[in-house]
Amino acid sequence: MQLSIIIVCWNVRAELLNCLRSIKDNPPACPYEIIVVDNAGSDGTVDELRERFPDVYLIANKQNRGFAAANNQGLDVARGQYIFFLNPDTIVTLHSIDNLIGFMENSPGVGACGPKLVSEKGIEQQTARRFPSYTGALHRHTIFKALGIFRPAYNKWLMKGFASTDAVQVDQLIGAALMVRRKAIEDVGRMDHYNFFMYYEEVDLCYRMKRKGWQVMFVPQVQIVHLGGRSSGQVPAEKTIMAMTSLLRFFRKHRSSFSSTLFRLLFKPAFVLNEIFNLLIYSMVYTAGLICLNKKVRMYSAEKLGYSAKLLKLSWSHGLG
């Protein structure tokens, strides 16, 4: 078996079915298998999958084990020389999988590669990134964003303005469509589901690959459609808390104990201060909407108020990191 396609899903039945149809419509030329891990969804995915795609290897979890753990479940039964971690909200295009495999076949030092991801309208998504930095994280999630002093570090992390028409080596790729060599996984280990329930598991994997000398390559000649955030978009505040928690755990795992501890001591109050600031700002915006009888402003500010309030509640009840 040359290729195993692993798809983890949670309450995205329609998107998953479309993804599977796109694979069937644009199948790779090599022998392949599809493994779907359903993380205890409640939308009827399992029953419909068994009916419409009986050839798919299905793992139906009784509880949501998280993205990293579910992918590892897929790895446990995968037989492919290459593993294609694919999100259910993607649409595979003609020859895209074949071209990724061909690239890996011709590049023995590459541990992982990924395509250009585009929206339904063809707009390119930024998928190649550097590894996260302390200052970039402060800009993204805390009150320091209002000051703007760490914006350059944030832009560097996300590789703002990066564009390439040729394959190029990068630090990491987002895991929506990530082709990985089995030998590289055997060398560095599987996804770390002990530290990462969801988010940054692919960052951690790429980091460990780079440390072992494997290359991570962005291959923009290959294109796949990515709808984006269909599972995590159902719980936006929880998504943010999970992302920050995983980011802090990435730093704790791969940075010095001293620096990561100091960072957490700064990060948490700076995050809380940012959300308190947002509550004050959007309370004033809501009041202005009341005075001006502007329903759209009231609805928008009420949504933002609810989001910040929930973030503060979750950060208090569940903690960070």
* pLDDT for res 294: 85
Same domain, 140 and 288: no
- Which residue, 130, 181, 117, 186, is CA-closest to 158? 130
Same domain, 28 and 98: yes
- Which residue, 316, 243, 273, 242, is CA-closest to 142? 273
Same domain, 190 and 309: no
* pLDDT for res 108: 96
The torsion angles phi and psi of 41, rounded to 5 degrees, stand at -70, 165
- Please state, in angstroms and rounded to a whole number, the distance separating the CA atoms of residues 141 and 257: 21
Specify the number of domains making up the chain: 3
Same domain, 12 and 151: no
- Find out whether 239 and 232 touch, Cβ atoms under 8 Å: yes
This prediction has a pTM of 0.92
| Residue 156 domain boundaries | 132-160
Q: Per the domain annotation, does 242 fall within a domain?
A: no
- Which residue, 220, 111, 118, 125, is CA-closest to 171? 111
* pLDDT for res 161: 87
Q: Per the domain annotation, does 251 fall within a domain?
A: no
Q: Per the domain annotation, does 50 fall within a domain?
A: yes
Q: Per the domain annotation, does 243 fall within a domain?
A: no
Same domain, 64 and 208: yes
Residue pLDDT tens, the chain, 321 long = 899 999 999 999 999 999 999 999 999 999 999 999 999 988 889 999 999 999 999 999 999 999 999 999 999 999 999 999 999 999 999 999 999 999 999 999 999 999 999 999 889 999 999 999 999 999 999 999 999 999 999 999 999 989 888 999 999 999 999 999 999 999 999 999 999 999 999 999 999 999 999 999 999 999 999 997 554 445 588 999 999 999 999 999 999 999 999 999 999 999 999 999 999 999 999 898 888 888 898 899 999 999 999 999 988 877 776
* pLDDT for res 321: 63
Q: Per the domain annotation, does 283 fall within a domain?
A: yes
Residue 313's Cβ-side half-sphere holds a number of Cα atoms within 13 Å equal to 8
Q: Say which amino acid occupies 150.
A: F
Q: Say which amino acid occupies 64.
A: N
Interaxial angle between packed helices 236-254 and 295-318, expressed in degrees from 0 to 180 and rounded to the nearest 10: 40
Q: Per the domain annotation, does 250 fall within a domain?
A: no
Same domain, 304 and 156: no
Same domain, 264 and 211: no
Same domain, 150 and 169: no
Same domain, 101 and 148: no
Q: Per the domain annotation, does 197 fall within a domain?
A: yes
Same domain, 90 and 193: yes
In 3-state terms, what secondary structure has residue 309?
Answer: helix
* pLDDT for res 286: 87
- Which residue, 78, 124, 312, is CA-closest to 218? 124
